[in-house]
Structure 1
Amino acid sequence: MAALIEDVLAEAERSGPGAPRSIHVEKPLELQLDLGNLTALDTNPLKAASFRQDPEQFLRSLARDNTQLLLNAVWQLPSERLEQTIVAKLPQPSTRIPREKALPKPRPPTRWEEFAKLKGIQKRKKSNLVWDKEKKEWRRRWGYKRANDQTKEWVIEVPESADPNEDQFTKRRTDKKERVAKNELNRLRNIARAQKNKVPGVGLAPTEQPSKAELSKAIRVAKTSTASVGKFQDKLPKEKEQRNTGKKRQFQPLVGDFSAERQKQLELLNIMYSKKPKLDLTRAVNRQLREDEQEQAAKRRKMQPRGRKGGKGHNRGRGQDRKSAMKQRGNRK
């Protein structure tokens, strides 16, 4: 027999320690609830006398009452039972919470996607199995043992427009290599277009000799376009180590464990609200020593006599002494 949540809470309050508390809380102003984010905003004025008397107990009581009102609103929402657990269906949040990271940018369309959009071509999914007329069975469209595999033919009909002395098997292998090279070139052009680099033309020889920087850039783009991002690519005989290839910025994952993100935000708040600023002892000692040296130099300049302040004044004093000595000698004679 299912019991009401109010009866369960009332029984827990009667059996628990301390004075019983009611689940019904009355306040002059109703809380502003955002059940989508499970938040509540209390706009009621604080009781200054109760807060001054016992701040910790007042805050505990206020938090308990607001939490009780929030839980009461949650239990009024439609709910369902999933694996012996009652789950409430939360509405859409009404408060916009700012994101820590920017929204991911959409991938730029390729040249074929732009052409298909312009012409109105819609992508249709093909089945993986195709009927093989020779083997009389369903086979894969691509890959090993595919249907209608032309490479397994032991004889090829020579077209009327072709050279009768030309090897059709060699021509077929050459055409396949050209198609693979063309697809690889188109793939590299799409990568260059996505990185907003200059896209070279097709079938046109370069009119100028490429510089060393352009060649190194082309090698770097070709290596990093592989599945391993160039990790397992062989080096050229005289190739130098690439510089500035590391990550410029490291971002936290958008989904997963939020403990690291919460710890980072708490450290940032502690730095912002800390009353005691951080003291650099080395810088403070050097500054104090510099000030002491300046004071001692100023005292020495004050105690130094005026005649010996500069070279000119000192020489002038010596010249006057020589003149007086010569006068005394003349008087003696």
Structure 2
Amino acid sequence: MSAGSTSAAAGPSSVSIEVKQGSTPLQLDVGFMLSVDPNQLDASKLSSSSSAAARDAYLLERARNSTQHLLNSIFSLPFTKHADVGPLATLPPIQPSSRICEPREKPLPKTESKPLTKWEKFAKAKGIQHRKKDKMVWDDERKDWVPRWGFEGANKDEENQWLHVMPSNAEDGYNPSAAAKKVLKERKAANEGKRLKNLQRAAASSATPSNSATVSDRAAAREVKKAQLEGDLLRSKRSTASMGRFDRALPNESKTFKTKSLKRKFEPNEVNTSAERSVQLGLLGKMERAQKAGGDKGLVNTRKAVKYASQGRGTAALVGHSTGSQGGKGGSKKGGRKGK
């Protein structure tokens, strides 16, 4: 079966198998079954002035021309007859020089190294070698290898087992399976939080200043950084005993700010009677509200009072001391009467 026999069998109303090469010959690779038309499209036929049907017909004609060129080349190849599907053409072997560079689906890999996570930095500083855990672990009860995580994994044994050891301090209504699932959910949430923090640190470390940043943005960032430095310096000066009075001054420090000492406010010795009455009534009202909320327990600390009165010896020593002192007084009086 060839292109010539197909053209002869076709009627006069069939589409022609002739190919228009144009100014630049069509590029053909039969091994890849690829036909490329490098000629430029006619802009006048694709302009907005032409109708949509005319544009579609022009593009369809260009595509048919390239496809017909490929089919003509395939039908000229040697073929073998097959009882079920008909003739089968044998494609030529692909030559190494005829490689075609197709568009890349995925983006190019990044040349810079990926920022290290918090654990990777710690492991690198301590010299800890990364060892990948095995996905399968041996289960003594099942006598078989089971997945470490996931469906029917070893980490689900505590949730699915029918017998649990109850802790001694377990509350009423304690459910071991629910507690194990809760611990698993908390661990997942913690891991997700760590992952997000690692991404945030990586984004902050790999972020570069934008070239489109305006002068006002840079000035605002500079003022913020300056205010932070001034606040840190002021706090460090206030932490000394002299409140930074005898510290060595930095250049242009006095023009920027001065260390201000804390001013204590004292009430005058003679105040208005109404003001004093309102302050005392407010204090009494506060004590009354505290008494209603917590009862009499918050007014006097009984244990502290007993400890103070007994000098740390306890209630029994305090009771014995009071009894002994009363007996001593009575005995001295009786003894005095006998002496007289």
- Do Structure 1 and Structure 2 share a fold, with TM-score over 0.5? no
Larger Rg: 2
TM-score (norm 1): 0.30
